């Protein structure tokens, strides 16, 4: 493995990815020259450029490290980079040091007190909330997060003291989380997902078992109650469950809404913490908060520090992200891209805004995921009052014959449903009168946010 102190330059292929951009920021912070390539400009890449990191958007071998630099340069890439991409070919053919993002994250967390947050969904919110609780305590931490924290305006946190804790989002895609050997870990969900990688749910669970087996001796796993966790996966650690609905080691009790904020009592193995407050919306975030509080307590954060920090949590960009509040419409953007996530987001909206008409714009993510879960997506979207389903965002995949948005729409029962394109927005919204408007998906649907907000402001004035 590389010795960071002998490296002068870090070049990132896919620098605009949420995990890659955190690494770019980290290496710039420790004094390395950092630059890279991404397919398209985005808010993230523009922010990196403002921070002094050079980014280019067309494959250009004139902008990549020269052969004379290969012994002092590390190339970091994501699995989304095609094998035949010219820059990737150049680096492979000329003997550069090439590492996946996950390998580098494993290197940076090695020898530290790593807190790894895993799960097929919910991990970004739990990661960010856990990092916030540690950051606002005497414990402190570094953090590599899979989203932009609204409290800190970044996906990278650095310690203010000598803290050895690193909170890291542990991604199951491509089995990336198997690069981590944490002291403490969370598993939020283990649903069938990334079946292009795993094939079936059994293989997904096997990967999570392998992840648990890598938790350090004497460490601990906090897992969502009722997940298919076998304590034999690792006999050398402690196991704790969490829930908001069922008896668990960490459990939210007496959940109530007061002045728009959730209040609850937290049962823990160490005693009960009375009247915690969470101002961030969504019942699913109460569950996330139970997991984050559990991790914080296991890390040494005090009850009083949790009580003070939790109400200040502001959330994550694109996670139940309220983008506009008007007299007629409230607009919320969410990264939900799995059927269970869609259901959770829509149900949270129903709970918070009873009686409001809910109109959702959904962009399916990946041809394989759309194919594998078409019926489940249809069932989730049927819980809307109006569903606008966009074309599939391909990400790293090539089209699959017969797989498009219609396979979801054809399975839906909701009468008010339509297939649409990005270019239809925001004008198509003239046909709808939502009390709550949702944009949902993990692709580039976030590019619609600003046009939709501008549209809603103008419509409010009419």
Last residue of a domain, one of 260, 284, 312: 312
Residues 296 and 340 in one domain: no
Domain-embedded: residue 106: no
- Within this chain, do residues 348 and 232 fall inside the same structural domain, yes or no? no
Burial readout 332-344 (b: 16 or more C-beta within 10 A, e: otherwise) = bbbbbbbbbbbbb
Indicate if 308 and 325 belong to the same structural domain. no
Residues 121, 178: one domain? Answer: yes
Which CATH number is 282's domain given? 3.40.1190.10
Total number of domains constituting the chain: 3
Same domain, 334 and 275: no
Q: Same domain for 449 and 354?
A: yes
Question: Are 274 and 233 found together in one domain?
Answer: yes
Determine the Cα–Cα distance for residues 257 and 314; give it in Å rounded to an integer. 17
- Identify whether residues 448 and 352 lie together within a single domain: yes
In a domain, 327, yes or no: yes
Instruction: Say whether both 303 and 331 belong to one domain.
Output: no
One domain, residues 360 and 383: yes
Task: Give residues with Cβ within 8 angstroms of 208, minimum separation 6.
Answer: 118, 172, 187, 190
pLDDT one digit per residue (tens) for the chain, 462 residues: 788 889 999 999 999 999 999 999 999 999 999 999 999 898 899 999 999 999 999 998 999 999 999 999 999 999 888 889 999 999 999 999 999 999 999 999 999 999 999 999 899 999 999 999 999 999 999 999 999 999 999 999 999 888 999 999 999 988 999 999 999 999 999 988 877 789 899 999 999 999 999 999 999 999 999 998 999 999 999 999 999 999 999 999 999 999 889 999 999 999 999 999 999 988 899 999 999 999 999 999 999 999 999 999 999 999 999 999 999 999 999 999 999 999 999 999 998 899 999 999 999 999 999 999 999 999 999 999 999 999 999 988 889 999 999 999 999 999 999 999 999 999 999 999 999 999 999 999 999 999 999 999 998 866
| Structural domain harbouring 55 | 4-101
**Domain final residue, candidates 68, 101, 134:** 101
For residues 334 and 450, membership in a common domain is answered with yes
Q: What is the CATH number of the domain that holds 374?
A: 3.90.190.20
């Amino acid at each position: 493995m590389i010795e960071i102190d002998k490296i002068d330059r870090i070049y990132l292929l896919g620098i605009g990815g949420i995990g890659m951009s955190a690494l770019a920021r980290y290496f710039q912070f420790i004094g390395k020259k950092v630059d890279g390539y991404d397919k398209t400009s985005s808010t993230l890449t523009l922010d990196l450029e403002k921070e002094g990191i050079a980014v280019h958007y067309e494959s250009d071998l004139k902008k990549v490290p020269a052969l004379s630099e290969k012994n002092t340069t590390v190339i970091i890439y994501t699995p989304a980079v095609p094998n035949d991409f010219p820059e990737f070919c150049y680096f492979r053919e000329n003997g550069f040091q090439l590492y996946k993002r996950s390998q580098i994250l494993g290197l940076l967390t090695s020898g530290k007190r790593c807190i790894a947050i895993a799960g097929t969904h919910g991990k970004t919110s739990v990661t960010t909330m856990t990092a916030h609780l540690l950051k606002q305590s005497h414990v402190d931490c570094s953090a590599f997060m899979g989203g932009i924290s609204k409290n800190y305006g970044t996906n990278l946190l650095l310690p203010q003291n000598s803290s050895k804790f690193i909170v890291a989002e542990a991604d199951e895609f491509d089995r990336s989380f198997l690069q981590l050997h944490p002291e403490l870990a969370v598993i939020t969900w283990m649903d069938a997902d990334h079946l292009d990688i795993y094939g079936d749910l059994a293989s997904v669970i096997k990967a999570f078992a392998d992840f648990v087996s890598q938790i350090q001796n004497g460490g601990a796993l906090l897992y969502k109650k009722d997940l298919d966790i076998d304590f034999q996966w690792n006999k050398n650690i402690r196991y704790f469950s969490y829930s908001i609905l069922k008896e668990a080691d960490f459990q939210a009790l007496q959940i109530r809404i007061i002045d728009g904020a959730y209040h609850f009592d937290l049962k823990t193995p160490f005693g009960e913490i009375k009247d915690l407050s969470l101002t961030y919306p969504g019942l699913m975030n109460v569950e996330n908060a139970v997991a984050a509080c559990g991790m914080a307590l296991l890390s040494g954060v005090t009850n009083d520090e949790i009580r003070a920090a939790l109400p200040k949590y502001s959330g994550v960009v694109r996670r139940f992200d309220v983008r506009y509040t008007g007299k007629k419409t409230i607009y919320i953007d969410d990264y939900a891209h799995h059927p269970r996530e869609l259901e959770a987001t829509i149900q949270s909206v129903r709970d918070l805004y009873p009686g409001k008409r809910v109109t959702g714009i959904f962009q399916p993510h990946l041809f394989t995921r759309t194919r594998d879960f078409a019926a489940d997506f249809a069932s989730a979207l049927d819980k809307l009052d109006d569903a606008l389903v966009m074309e599939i965002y391909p990400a790293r995949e090539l089209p699959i014959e017969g797989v498009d948005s219609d396979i979801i729409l054809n399975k839906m029962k909701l009468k008010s449903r339509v297939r649409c394109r990005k270019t239809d927005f925001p004008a198509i919204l003239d046909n709808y009168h939502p009390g709550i408007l949702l944009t949902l998906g993990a692709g580039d649907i976030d590019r619609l946010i600003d046009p939709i907000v501008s549209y809603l402001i103008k419509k409010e004035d009419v």
